Chains A and B, each alone.
Chain A
Amino acid sequence: MKAKERLLKVEDLKVHFFTYGGVVEALDGVSFDLFRSEVLGLVGESGCGKSVTALSIMRLVPRPGRIISGRIIFDGEDLLKKSEKEMYKIRGSRISLIFQDPTSSLNPLFTVGYQVAEPLVYHHRMGFKRAWDKAVQILAKTRIPDPPAKARSYPHELSGGMRQRSMIAMALACQPDLLIADEPTTNLDVTVERQILELVKDLQREFGTSVLWITHNLGVIAELCNRVVVMYAGNVVEIAEVEEIFSHPLHPYTQKLLKAIPSAQTVGGKLEEIPGTVPKLINPPSGCRFHPRCPAATDVCREEKPSMIEVRAGHFVACHLYSSGG
């Protein structure tokens, strides 16, 4: 395994939301690494905390949420110790974020070209004319047809796929070290999604950007990512290379999740179900948060939260099944 340079280290991140009903423990000690020039997939179902993780890295967690503890070390510096002013310089230029719905993320009052040029003007202090030209270049890289004309268009004049490409252009304008993508293709048609995935693969290779791709779609993960982080109810449960995850899933949750996907093999039969529902994080289960639904749960699972263990090379699991002589 060649030595990779680490770009981001999230260490024991805890985020709580203080609400009317009580304290929601959204993230309960999330830890993972992200290396340079890799595509890391963050997969999990609704409420597992993947979006909160992305927002935490950018320090954009909305009220009533607060980062309680932990460290986020980006290129050697702890982001949680930085001032708001310092974060302004980082967002958009060193770390960029793209969202699920391009329509609401693009300002309807400004042309697409203006919005792509904006981060260049703000972060790189470029003159507007130069920034505009660069913006058109970047739009061309996202394979939008007729970039100069499209740059002069407004978001509502473009289709969903083109808007998403504009968002990607905006995010990559300043050539960030890290691109965080929060479900950007979930709302797109399958054929357009395919184009965006191919685009991201090519751009990532060209610019060497690291990508943190958040999704609940395991097909996309298989297509795009080098390594995968699986989350459940605010915890990381498994981390491995993508082939490993699909061929040898170790955590019971991951195993059941993979079996729940309909495929050619499951036709006509029953899909594997995970009994119970995702727990409400206001009163999370004790010990391992998955234990109420886990077929292999034992007493220790109820009492003690499992820590991440490296079971095989590069393959980490947080499960008591593997802690003693696994």
Chain B
Amino acid sequence: MRFSPLTKYRLLKKRLKPSLKEMGLTFYVLRKNASAVLGAFIVASFIFLALFGPYIAPYDPYETDIIHRFEPPSPSHPLGTDKLGRDVLSRLLHGARYSAKAGIVVLAISVPVGVILGGIAGLFGGWIDEIIMRITDIFLAFPGLILAMAFSAALGPSLENAMLALTLVWWPLYTRLVRGQALSVRESAYVEAARSRGASKLYIVFKHILPNCLTPILVTFTLDMGAVILSCASLSFLGFGAQPPLPEWGRMVSDGRIYLFQAWWVSMFPGLAIALVVLGFNLLGDGIRDALDPKLRRITEVG
């Protein structure tokens, strides 16, 4: 069924405005939620730093300056210097990228894999469902940390290996999520209506089940960004992820740990950064979930 571009355009145009109005309601509810707005602000700042951090950093994060080691925060070094005299602020700004990269890479792989597997399991049920869920259970049983340690031992510690380990343990979450959604959507009246009109299973999956799963996926994705960043930082902190001299935040916390009483700023600021970013994603994720929750929307919509 081929349509001319003009036809496609006309069809889309009619549907565009109402779609946007729908989204407008979501944004309105979101805007009214103060903590979600705060979360959004934090996340936006984080993204900005990840993209432009290195360009606004005053110093080279790798340049050592032993004479000025362990200098407390001052006008020339707003966040102080670490054990090798490197400017903490510059390292922080450079390090945003690694955390962001970790979050994106891990989720960019685990989400599609998890969603597809979950969708298949939820749709087909029966033994396909059983097999997929058992495999999922096996992977869920692995503690991410131990797996990462094993990887480090085998392949050598690095940020990449940490991300790999995390990806392997992260996708099962999405499988279970999508499967649950698929099961509940499958029972709903509009799917039954579609079946009664002769829709094939494939049609139902793409037109009905998947679109209705998008919402929880979006919410979980947002919350997970924070969780992945935290996990990656934790792995680096323990020594299984990023290695020196990479200015990854978790690594920085670990490096400054022994000097905590002499030079608290070396560990404190990267630690605060991690906490703040995770908080931001959590607030935003909660806000999105509330905004998309049909019951809450209705209260805000009509009395």
Contact = CB atoms under 8 A, between A and B. Distances in A.
Interface residues of B, number: 8
A62 B29 CA distance: 17
The listed residue with most A CB atoms (<10 A of its CB), out of B25, B29, B299, B303, is B303
A245 to B, nearest CB: 28
B302 A24 contact: yes
A20 B303 contact: no
A108 B29 CA distance: 31
Interface in B143-173: none
B300 interface: yes
Interface residues of A, number: 12
Interface string B265-303: 000000000000000000000000000000000011111
Contacts of A52: 303
B296 to A, nearest CB: 11
B28 A64 contact: no
A21 B301 CA distance: 7
A282 B301 CA distance: 11
A20 B299 contact: no
Contacts of A298: none
- Interface SS majority for chain B: helix
A27 B300 CA distance: 18
A56 B300 CA distance: 19
Nearest to B25: A20
A26 interface: yes
A19 interface: yes
Residue of B28, B300, B302 with most partner-chain A CB within 10 A: B302
B301 A26 contact: no
A65 B303 CA distance: 7
A64 B25 contact: no
A290 interface: no
A125 interface: no
Contacts of A20: 25, 28-29, 300-301
Contact of A17 (B28, B29, B303): B303
A65 B25 CA distance: 19
Nearest to B28: A20
Interface in A60-77: 62-65
Contacts of B299: 62-64
A64 B300 CA distance: 7
A282 B29 CA distance: 19
Interface in A2-20: 17, 19-20
B28 A26 contact: no
A26 B302 CA distance: 10
Nearest to B302: A19
A20 B297 CA distance: 10
Interface string B87-105: 0000000000000000000
Contacts of B302: 17, 19, 21, 24, 282
Interface in B241-276: none
Contacts of B28: 20
A60 to B, nearest CB: 13
B300 A26 contact: no
Contact of A26 (B25, B29, B303): B303
Q: Pick the most buried of A19, A52, A282: most chain B CB atoms within 10 A of its CB.
A: A19
A24 B25 contact: no
Interface in A63-109: 63-65
Interface string A16-37: 0101110010100000000000
Contacts of A24: 302-303
A65 B298 CA distance: 13
Interface in A266-325: 282
A206 to B, nearest CB: 37
A46 B28 CA distance: 27
Nearest to B298: A19
B180 to A, nearest CB: 22
Contacts of B29: 20
Nearest to A26: B303
Contacts of A63: 299
A295 to B, nearest CB: 29
A19 B303 contact: yes
B22 to A, nearest CB: 12
A17 B298 CA distance: 12
A261 to B, nearest CB: 28
Contacts of A282: 302
A24 B29 CA distance: 18
Contacts of A19: 300-303
Interface string B17-57: 00000000100110000000000000000000000000000
Contacts of B25: 20
A163 to B, nearest CB: 23
A53 to B, nearest CB: 13
A21 B299 CA distance: 12
Nearest to A18: B303
Interface of A: 17, 19-21, 24, 26, 52, 62-65, 282
13 contacts: A17-B303, A19-B300, A19-B301, A20-B301, A21-B301, A24-B302, A24-B303, A52-B303, A62-B299, A62-B303, A63-B299, A64-B303, A282-B302
Interface of B: 25, 28-29, 299-303
**Which 5 pairs between the two chains have the least Cβ-Cβ distance?**
A17-B303, A65-B303, A24-B303, A19-B302, A20-B28
Given A19-B301, A20-B300, A282-B302, 17 more contacts: A17-B302, A19-B300, A19-B302, A19-B303, A20-B25, A20-B29, A20-B301, A21-B301, A21-B302, A24-B302, A24-B303, A26-B303, A62-B299, A62-B303, A63-B299, A64-B299, A64-B303
